[in-house]
Structure 1
Amino acid sequence: MPEAKIAPNLPDWMLQHVHRYLSSGGTEGHMYTVTPEGYPEMTVPALLLTTKGRKSGEKYLFPLFYGRTGDSYIIVASKGGAPEHPGWYRNILADPMVEVQVGTEHLQARARTATGEERARLWQEALKFWPPYADYEKKTEREIPVVVLDPVR
């Protein structure tokens, strides 16, 4: 299986985060400390998501904040409240099989978009690990997808 490329056009802070995560084998970078505008400093859990590019077919790696629900992980396709969905989300709509690294653990997962009551509940969980999602929601007309990564064993 070909090695994943770091997603193109990531901001510098994300690139540095990914490099630290990868170079340490996941012992560093799985918790990210940041001070978002208008918020106090916070430490947020981070994973690495690898998707298959919907156009290129190549594997791309994205650093994302996450939460847990049961044995699964939750991630949010916010793109900072941009009007369009992030590329990684469009990739998983085309192919929901993904690779995930959480700390030193590597796993295969199937991504799915939460809907209805599950989405409402998981959105509230996401606001706990990354409160700025509430600001992103106000900036955009789209419903920001909450994605569940169910491990494939």
Structure 2
Amino acid sequence: MDTCYIETPLGHAKIVGDDEGISAVSILDSKEELSEVIPESLLECATQLKAYFNDQLKTFDLKLNPEGTSFQKKVWQQLQLIPYGKSISYLELSKQLGDAKAIRAVASANGKNPLWIIIPCHRVIGSDGSLTGYAGGLHRKQWLLNHESEFKQQTLF
């Protein structure tokens, strides 16, 4: 597996993958040394992430190879259908997957998504509009939702 680290507005991103596809993308709380050379297998992912953060890309087109159970992969595939700038609730996601009662299992699979941003688990919110859960922290989830919003929110201070 190849690994590289790139700078993003949310912190240093770690990208892991090989010729079979990208298997993980996460934003780190630590400051890993940025990669001077990005492996060929990760170059397109790094390029697309940078374009996303620069408001030049709304849909990723990458070969993905995340590790997970068949149920998790089913949930992750459904997440990729949530349009840029939109959000849905965990209940809506469960219903789309065919079982409203599976909401906890769906939320758990959502939380185990290894491909942050690319598989947009940040677009899933609570039924009441709350920002329930995000492995990268609620501040990053809020930032991503604001970034994708048609109406950018400005901070007062």
TM superposition score category, shorter chain reference: under 0.3
Q: TM-score, length-normalised on structure 1? A: 0.28
Q: TM-score, length-normalised on structure 2? A: 0.27
**More contact order relative to length (CA 8 Å, sep ≥ 6):** 1
Higher radius of gyration, 1 or 2: 2
| Structure with more of its chain in helix, by fraction | 2
